[in-house]
Structure 1
Amino acid sequence: MTRLYVHRLLGVPGTLIARSCVPPREGLAARATRWNYWWQAHLLEAMVDAGERELALGRPDEAALWLDRGGRLLRGIRWHNLGSYTNSYYDDMAWLTLAAQRLNALSRRATGRGSAIAQEAGRALYPRLARALTPELGGGAFWNTAEDYKNVPSTAPIAMALARAGRHEDAAPLLSWLRENLFDEERGYLDGIRLVPARSGERVPQVDRSVHSYNQGTVLAAHLEHPAGDLRHAEQIVAAAARNLAVDVEVEGTTVRVLDTRGSGDGGLFAGILARHLAAAAQDERLAAETRATARDLVLATAEMLWSGRREYDPDLPLNEIGVDVTEIRNSAVAVFSPDAARHCSDVLGAGVGAELSSQVQAWTILEAAWRLER
């Protein structure tokens, strides 16, 4: 994937950035302004996954390469963002904080010292995230600096970041607020609470009842990572996700349940984030065996469908050429994955690549999660 999507930012050595789509769908000006900061953060997470995998396989030199790529991507994100790690969206900054935390931890494991650039990012991001946490609506975190919407996409990742940093007393109220205000026992976590102007001039709360897979994953992870996390509630989250956010697929006469990966744009990443944290749940022996099995089966089945439905391309050929057959072994081939795990990539994308970065990072994330379960 990196061979198709990732390149130096404006050709500058020591930087990396990823294209939002291959081939590009927009002109240069649009690509410069709509570059999807938070997709890049999840690409950094996937690079850390790859580095951790190489360490686990006893290949420290390969892990060091991924560590270097991660540092260059973080530098590219900062430079593309006009020299700053911060922007007006607290959820974006929370995602990058989590990725930088993991890059720093990988550096400590691989080299015995932390990553200077990851630590620099953390110093810039943590104070900005603190601004999202206000008393309005009884707690929680605002989505952006407009301060009219408190939601799971900002609150749960901030709770995760605080828990990982050892700030457990700051993270706990966020988990309580989420459960008290946005958990539906049948459907799982609702998206958020918007402050809507009323005729009186006041702003009144209105719940957005949409349910998204990544929200379930981040709240699940926050409970698993917090020392006082509610493990029985974590089991409820896994059950709700399996019930509502997966689909049945017929494979050679057998029904297989996989995560619903369908989605374009931001939605192309949602199931991948859920899969990352389902894999952690599957490996957490504090959870009930049934919960762990459910989480494991969903991740592995989804990964298998994505892998069997991939299409391989020779990146040295023009991107409008038909890709090589997946049964043909060619050293220069790269895999492109379907945005819909239930359908083959060729059926969804056609002859050209045409895949958004979000869906490819999602597939990479799911495949790395499956590897961790199978190793």
Structure 2
Amino acid sequence: MVARHLRRVWALPGTRLGVAGWPQSIGNRLHVHWNYWWQAHLLDCLVDAQERQPNAARAGTIRGLVRGVRVRNFGAWTNDYYDDIAWLGLALMRAHDCEDVPVTRAMTAIAAQLRAGWTDHGGGGIWWRRKDLFKNVPANGPAAILFARWSTRGGERADPQRARSVTEWMSQVLVDPATGLLWDGVYVEEDGSIRDVVKVIYTYCQGVYLGACVELAEGDTSGVWIERAERTIGAVAAHLNDDDVLRGRGGGDGGLFAGILARYLAQAALRLPTSSPAAATARGLVVGSASAAWRNRALARSGPLFGPEWSQPARVPRTAGHRRAERDLSVQLAGWMVLEAAALLERSTG
């Protein structure tokens, strides 16, 4: 991944950014199309690897990527998309915990924008982006996780309640009563009423909702968040995998979806009560998916290359114009993510 996808930003020393595609086009090398939220997951994966096997070179890459994101975002930490900034905030907190990367200024800006994104339209929740009429799980899930975590690291006193309110909104508005899975989101009218519920099922949505429930279960005596986490894991096991391998969603943004679910399944496996059958189910889904991704990898320049469907053999793109999902940074990050999730579970059992 580092050899194929990481480059300086406009040749500036001390910067790194993930190139969107490999083999690289000229536009890729110049970071014309750079996918802000993919960089957040690249940072998360680098932190995963550093926690597993620390080394000085990777520590420098982590710092360079943080600088690169800010440079390519023209000196700002935020943009108009609430899901984008929540993902970057989560990754920055982990980079700080791992390598003491300074994040206070960035987190202050990100958290403030997320707090301002809550309105009562559609019963509550945070917008997907500024000046829009859509609220969805992909924005609210990572925001809830961020509020829960940032509250112990310098956030506001009300942030834990914000995390609960955001997750409760998802629970009340976007859980499919028939399957227990999360729908994508809702369009609302300007008067605040819900115009339409987007009943599309994405693995991504299950992962971030599960992650929020696991965060809120810490120190909670009611049991409601554990129950919701267990229900979500059961729904994923029943509907979104084949023989313990999570289903993919092609390339582009969809390339990250299964990897995100794998990350939060691993957290659930580690943090739910050991007596919970759902914890064992979550572990099985992560290990099964990682095994399949590795078994079906292709051999490309500098190392293994993953496909968008972990249950199927990956194929190597030959040129920058070869339109295969395997070109996408997102698809490769998901493969890296599921392997790190499985490695984390392996370390936890000695």
**Scaled by the length of structure 2, what TM-score is found?**
0.88
When Rg is computed on C-alpha atoms for both structures, the one with the higher figure is 1
Q: Is this contact kept in 2: 1:187–1:211, CA < 8 A?
A: no
How do residues 298-337 of structure 1 correspond to structure 2 at under 5 angstroms?
Answer: 298-314=285-301, 333-337=302-306
Which residue of the partner structure matches residue 21 of structure 1? 21
Q: Distance in 2 between matches of 1:307 and 1:36?
A: 26
2:195 aligned with 1:205: yes
2:126 aligned with 1:141: yes
How do residues 344-359 of structure 1 correspond to structure 2 at under 5 angstroms?
Answer: 344-346=313-315, 349=316, 355-359=327-331
Deviations 1:237-277 (A, max 9, x none): 00111122112xxxxxxxx3200024210000000000001
Which residue of the partner structure matches residue 250 of structure 1? none
Structure 1, unpaired ranges of 5+? 55-59, 108-113, 248-255, 315-332
Amino acid at match of 1:238: I
Q: Of Structure 1 and Structure 2, which has the larger fraction of its residues in strand?
A: 1
- Evaluate the alpha carbon distance shift between residue 30 and residue 150 of structure 1 in structure 2; reply closer, same or farther with a 3 A threshold: farther
Give aligned pairs, total.
329
2:315 aligned with 1:343: no
Identity %: 36
Q: Is this contact kept in 1: 2:10–2:30, CA < 8 A?
A: no
**Scaled by the length of structure 1, what TM-score is found?**
0.82
Amino acid at match of 1:357: L
- How far 1:176 sits from its partner (Å)? 1.0
- How far 1:120 sits from its partner (Å)? 2.9
Q: Distance in 1 between matches of 2:17 and 2:31?
A: 11
Which residue of the partner structure matches residue 110 of structure 1? none
How do residues 1-375 of structure 1 correspond to structure 2 at under 5 angstroms?
Answer: 1-24=1-24, 28=27, 32-54=31-53, 60=54, 62=55, 64-107=56-99, 114-116=100-102, 118-166=103-151, 167-185=159-177, 186-196=179-189, 204-226=194-216, 227=218, 228=220, 230-247=225-242, 256-286=243-273, 288-314=275-301, 333-346=302-315, 349=316, 355-375=327-347
- Evaluate the alpha carbon distance shift between residue 287 and residue 133 of structure 1 in structure 2; reply closer, same or farther with a 3 A threshold: farther
- Evaluate the alpha carbon distance shift between residue 32 and residue 284 of structure 1 in structure 2; reply closer, same or farther with a 3 A threshold: closer
Q: Distance in 2 between matches of 1:272 and 1:190?
A: 18
Which residue of the partner structure matches residue 329 of structure 1? none
Deviations 1:23-46 (A, max 9, x none): 236x52996442110001100000
- How far 1:53 sits from its partner (Å)? 0.7
Q: Distance in 2 between matches of 1:204 and 1:308?
A: 45
Deviations 1:99-139 (A, max 9, x none): 001111112xxxxxx322x3332122111112211122221
Which residue of the partner structure matches residue 252 of structure 1? none
- Evaluate the alpha carbon distance shift between residue 243 and residue 195 of structure 1 in structure 2; reply closer, same or farther with a 3 A threshold: same
SS in structure 2 of the partner of residue 335 of structure 1: strand
Structure 2, unpaired ranges of 5+? 152-158
SS in structure 2 of the partner of residue 312 of structure 1: strand
